[in-house]
Structure 1
Amino acid sequence: MFGLLILVGLSEKVLVFPYETDFSFVALIPQKEMELRAFTLCMRVATELPEERQIILFAYRTADYDELNVWREKDGRVSLSMSGDGIFFHLPPLTTFRSSLCLTWESRTGLTAFWVDGKRSTYQVYKPGHSIRPKGTVLLGQDPDKHLGGLEAMQSFVGEVTDLNMWDSVLSRSMIQAWHYGHKVLKGNIFDWSSIEYELNGNVMVVHDD
């Protein structure tokens, strides 16, 4: 993908993005094509960045579209956008202490929700009938404004990410809460943190999660 070494597995490890850059990111290699009509995306995240700065939390882009982007916006809201205008949620703020953050969406109804520390936001209806296209690139730490390029320091993620998992279905409340509390749940079939394939680029540290 980037001509870098592909690494495998981050069990009990944390990705640390120590400072703002326009070149540090982690590329994640999905276990199956991301041709999705439903998903659950979960991660644990912490940041010291101030509220008035936009932060990319997850970026999946194909050649022409931002297929699936999750942002913390300048006003502190968290947004989901898929190939166009996004939707916005007022969630508890991301802080220096780790939050567990999940996002669920399904095409059939368009029902979309965020989950913070095991609690669900109100549902919003977003893009019913839509499907996410495959053959793109997933990045943590940066938002590619074009395929594999156009990175901006002022959108970069600074902080820690761990335990990122993704499924091609909407998990139940009990499963999301079990994941939040660190219990064993069905392994993510798109991304499973313990066996995830990834590439490091720039100044990203992999540290033991003590």
Structure 2
Amino acid sequence: MKILLFVVALSVALAGSLAFKSLVFPSESSSSYVELIAQKPLSLEAFTLCMRVATELSGEREVILFAYRTQEYDELNVWRELDGRLSFYLSGAGVLFQVPPLGALQTHLCVTWDSSSGAAALFINGRKSLSKIYKTGFTIRPGGTVLLGQDPDSYLGDFDAKQSFVGEISDVNLWDSVLSTGAVQDLFCGKRIQRGNVIDWETVLMKLNGEVEVINEEL
């Protein structure tokens, strides 16, 4: 197991082309995860979170896709639920969506939320779900840590292997605003029009723990 963590940038130039980093979580684990170092504090009254994800876990158990936790609270967690629905939680009860299931083929997933209206929605491969009203007036608090691969039940601890992510994640970007439908569709198509101003996958630093592999994909 990798105990001493290392920090890497997620995109590099190779032979004149852009090599895009992707994270592979090869097996169920209570010790494999990646910490992302955000560019600014996650004090959010609105957000768009996007990622590309593939997993062969199919309805066997719940799967954590993204976790942001402060000392006291799970501020923002994104899940694949046991019944296949996708959901996210802001410090308490969550909002759930019945959408096409995740699978071995890569899915471009975006989650949006706006505190002023409470409007919450998902995008799957550029297609928008219905909007639901959730946590109107809430603010996501700063001072925490962003993790991929594990759900921390305490601050950076108490990981459960049966909730861990197994599969591949890439292209994780976070904005402190709700992007337009057109912008999300451009991202799905691979257009780099608007880079994340909280987490930018092309420049973000990460710390690896456990058995996580980093692979390069030339674009």
Q: Which TM bucket (shorter chain)?
A: over 0.9
Quote the Cα distance in structure 2 between the aligned partners of 1:23 and 1:152.
9
Where has structure 1 moved over 4 Å in runs of 4 or more?
none
Task: Choose from 40, 51, 55 the match for 1:47.
Answer: 55
- The question of 1:173 aligning with 2:181 is answered yes
Task: Choose from 45, 59, 74 the match for 1:66.
Answer: 74
How many residue pairs match? The answer is 209
State whether residues 52 and 76 of structure 1, in contact with CA within 8 Å, keep that contact through their aligned partners in structure 2. Answer: no
Following superposition, the deviation at residue 204 of structure 1 comes to 0.3
The correspondence of residues 7-86 of structure 1 with structure 2, limited to 5 A, is 7-10=8-11, 12-86=20-94
Residue by residue over 1:3-59, the C-alpha shift from the partner in whole angstroms, topping out at 9 and shown as x without a partner, is: 732222245121000000000000001000000000000000000112131000000
TM-score, scaled relative to structure 1: 0.97
User: In the alignment, residue 108 of structure 1 is paired with which amino acid?
Assistant: S
Quote the Cα distance in structure 1 between the aligned partners of 2:51 and 2:119.
20
Quote the Cα distance in structure 1 between the aligned partners of 2:69 and 2:30.
17
State whether residues 60 and 68 of structure 1, in contact with CA within 8 Å, keep that contact through their aligned partners in structure 2. Answer: yes
TM-score, scaled relative to structure 2: 0.93
Residue by residue over 1:123-144, the C-alpha shift from the partner in whole angstroms, topping out at 9 and shown as x without a partner, is: 0000000000001011000000
State whether residues 10 and 20 of structure 2, in contact with CA within 8 Å, keep that contact through their aligned partners in structure 1. Answer: no
Following superposition, the deviation at residue 145 of structure 1 comes to 0.3
Quote the Cα distance in structure 2 between the aligned partners of 1:174 and 1:55.
29
Task: Name the % identity.
Answer: 52
State whether residues 47 and 95 of structure 1, in contact with CA within 8 Å, keep that contact through their aligned partners in structure 2. Answer: yes
- The question of 1:113 aligning with 2:121 is answered yes
User: Equivalent residue for 1:4?
Assistant: 5
Quote the Cα distance in structure 1 between the aligned partners of 2:97 and 2:30.
27
Following superposition, the deviation at residue 208 of structure 1 comes to 1.4
State whether residues 30 and 161 of structure 2, in contact with CA within 8 Å, keep that contact through their aligned partners in structure 1. Answer: yes
Unaligned runs of 5+ in 2: 12-18
Quote the Cα distance in structure 1 between the aligned partners of 2:196 and 2:50.
9
User: Equivalent residue for 1:153?
Assistant: 161
- The question of 1:183 aligning with 2:191 is answered yes
Q: What is the root-mean-square deviation of aligned Cα atoms in Å?
A: 1.2
